[in-house]
Each structure stands twice: as structure tokens, then as C-alpha cells.
Amino acid sequence: MGKRRWSRGLVVGALALLAFVAVPGSALAAKAPGLASSTQYKAFIEYVKKMDGLTTTPTSAEQKNTYEAKLTAKKTAAAHKANALFKRASEEAAAEANEKAKEQVEGVRGKEEKELAAIQATTAGKFERIEASYHVKFEHIVTGHKNREKALKAQISELRGKKAAAAPGQPKEAIQERITAKSAEVSANRADEATKRTELKSATGKSKTALKETAEAAEVELGEAAEETVKKIDNHWNKQYEGKKAALNATRENRLGYLESKLEQGRADVAAMPTS
């Protein structure tokens, strides 16, 4: 709407945005004074009245020309004043609409920022919980497998003692088989620990990625909702301004038409004056 523009602020998003209040066009009250109170208008109307009072007064052709010239000049001055008042009132209506739109949009942005902060705080809290859970589970894996390996090594040590005291041949070989089996369990325990660590790291990474994507989607939705509301506010006040401007222009056209009719009346009065 021409001059009714203002710079928009940060766009990030909101789930619970400020609903703009529709205000009738009359809310944009023009502050400019009326034409009837202007010096130019009063001077022109008074001069027309003066001409009306001279319709029976003998007047020279030269004086009639002077009267007509003054009528035209005063009418032109009044018309210029009417146009100036229209321009001033339109600018005031634009400024007022601009201010109201700005105030409402700032409310939307304020809501948006609060919602964004809430999303970020919630996400940060969830990240902390995921991280804390990871460390607890990691410690559980490490401790469990460490204790398991410790127990297995104790059993191997015990078996080695028995093997040393066992008779040669089958007795020693049987114990060695048990030692070999326990050593294999140690290796399997270590491999299981490595696998569980990898699985835990992968699962934690996926949880963090999913949380990040969810937060980003919420922020995008927030921003889109905020922008849509801002557009509605802007369109609303554009319409309010255009409606007020159209009403002001209609008033201006009526005033100019009235001035033209008074000019014709004055000219008719001058023409009616008997020539001296």
C-alpha cells in the first residue's frame, strides 16, 4: 500500500501465536483539520457571498473580469488546500495503520521467541538425559564385562594351579581343555563388550539425530505459523488503510465538486451584475 510499510523482525517460528484483532476502518481516525475551518475555504466562500450581494450593482466589464479572476484564484487556493488535507490525512492514516500493524507483529514475534526458547530448552533437557543415560549404560557395560573377565581369569588361575598338581597325561589334558575354554570365554566377553559399546553409541547417536530433527521441524513449523500470521496482519492493515484512503478521497472529490459549484455560482452572480 505504498508508504504503509515497515521493517519486519526475526523470523523463527511459533506454535501459539498472537491472534491479530480486526479493527474497523473507522479506527484509523484522520487527525487533519477539516477544509471548512481553513482560511482558504472561508475566504472563497465569503467572496462568493460577496458576489451574490452585488448581483444588482452596476459593474464595469473590467471590474467583472477582476471579480472572476479573484473567484478563480480563491477557488484554486481552496482546492489546493483540499488536496493538501487529503494528502496529510492519508499519510496520518498510513502511519497509524503502520503503527498498529507493527504493534501486533511485535506481539507475534514476542510469542514466537518464547515458543522458540521453550523448544530449545526442552530439546537441551532431552539431550542431557540422552547423554546421561548413555554414560550410565556405558558404565554398566564396562563394569559388567570387567567383572566377568575378572571372574573368568580367577577361574583360569585356579585351573592352572590344579593342572600343575595333576598327574601327567589325561588329567592334565582335561584341565587344559577347561583352561582353553575359559580363555575363549574371556575373548568372547571382550568381543561382546566391544559390540555392546558400538550398539550403545549407535543407538545414542540415532536418538540425538531424531531429537535434533524433531526440534528443527518444530522450529520450522513455528516460523511458518509466525509468517502466516504476520502476512494476515499486514494484509488486514493494508485493507484498513486503503479503505480509509478511499473514504478520504471520496470526501476530497465531494469538496472539490462543491468548490466547483460555488465557483460557477460566483461566476453566474458576476454575469448577472448589470454592466455600468
pLDDT the model gives residue 34: 84
Give me the chain's average pLDDT, please: 89
User: What's the pLDDT at 29?
Assistant: 52
- Determine phi and psi for 275, rounding to 5 degrees: -80, 130
Give the largest CA-CA distance in the chain: 163
pLDDT of residue 1: 40
pLDDT of residue 131: 97
* Residue 83 falls in which region: left (phi positive, over 0), alpha (psi -120 to 50) or beta: alpha
Q: 275 has which bridge partners?
A: 59
| Entry pTM | 0.69
- The full set of domain ranges for the chain reads 32-272
Q: How far apart are the two ends of the chain, measured CA to CA in Å?
A: 57
Residue 2 backbone zone (phi > 0: left; psi -120 to 50: alpha; other: beta): left
User: What is the predicted pLDDT for the residue at 21?
Assistant: 39
The confidence score (pLDDT) of residue 89 equals 94
Per-residue pLDDT reduced to its tens digit, 186-197: 999 999 999 999
What is the rounded radius of gyration, in angstroms, for the C-alpha atoms of the chain? 46
Residues in the chain where the model's pLDDT stays below 70: 1-32
